[in-house]
Amino acid sequence: MTKSLDTISLYVRRQANNPLRYLWEQSWLFLLSWIPTIVGIAIRGVFYRLIMKMDGMAAIENGVRLRFTSNIRLGKRVYLDQGTYLHACPNGITIGDDTLVMHGSVLHVYNFRGMKQSGIRIGKNSLIGEYNVIRGQGGVTIGDRVYTSPFVQIVSVNHVFDDPTVPFVDQGITAEGIVIEDDVWIGSGAVITDGVRIGKGAVVAGGAVVTKDVAPLTIVGGVPAKVIRTITGEKTTGDKTIYHL
């Protein structure tokens, strides 16, 4: 019996700030999260203000999963598509005005170690493509007008595995954080690893694995990603075919 109660207590602690808050949030989600069409969007736009911070009217489709809603802040005209999942354990998730989070994307702070730098911050007029995964243990900051294509992974955590005599799960993690500056385009299936900064106006080719900083106005691609060229304003031909962006 004690073990079962401990398991339930652990589950609740990983869903909301406290048991009473869990009941409050889940009650509203149970009542309203399933309602389809524009009727449901309108109802959630009004009543979800009771469980999260909303600067204006956000459009939240049915079937959106939300946890630690007290740590979520949505700007004006934010859109959360069906099947998205926001888990905002401290220090939370902030999404700026006119930003879209598309179907199936997961934004998970996953800060069960109590790290101060954890969190996800997305700027204005950005688009998080279908089935993206953003993990915010080390902190993820995404600027304005950043577009990510489907199946992008932005993961601000890495396991330490230097000691062959110790299981990697016992060797700790790194969580340096990821910064993606304004006006960046990230192609389908790209992976952005912990500790990386992508400069303003850069482009990451589809399928690239970015393990080092990317300078502004630079196109990178490959595994690991390397510089393909800089963006100078000169017209080029064949780029769409070569880079599969």
Q: Which of 87, 108, 159, 244 is catalytic?
A: 159
Contact status, residue 223 vs residue 209, Cβ threshold 8 Å: yes
Task: Respond yes or no: is residue 103 known to be catalytic.
Answer: no
Predicted TM-score (pTM) of this structure: 0.89
**Counted domains in the chain:** 1
| Residue 143 contacts residue 118 (beta carbons within 8 Å) | no
Tell me the pLDDT tens digit for each residue of 82-97.
Answer: 999 999 987 899 999 9
- Angstrom CA distances, 224 to 5, 133, 179, 209, 216, stand at 46, 19, 18, 5, 18
Higher local confidence (pLDDT), 60 or 115: 60
Domain hosting residue 219, numbered range? 2-243
Mean pLDDT score of the chain, rounded to an integer?
91
Q: Is the peptide bond before 224 cis (omega within 30 degrees of 0)?
A: yes
Checking if the pLDDT of 243 tops 50, the result is no
Q: Which residue has the higher pLDDT, 35 or 115?
A: 35
Read off the CATH number of the domain in which 236 is found.
2.160.10.10
Residue 160 pLDDT: 80
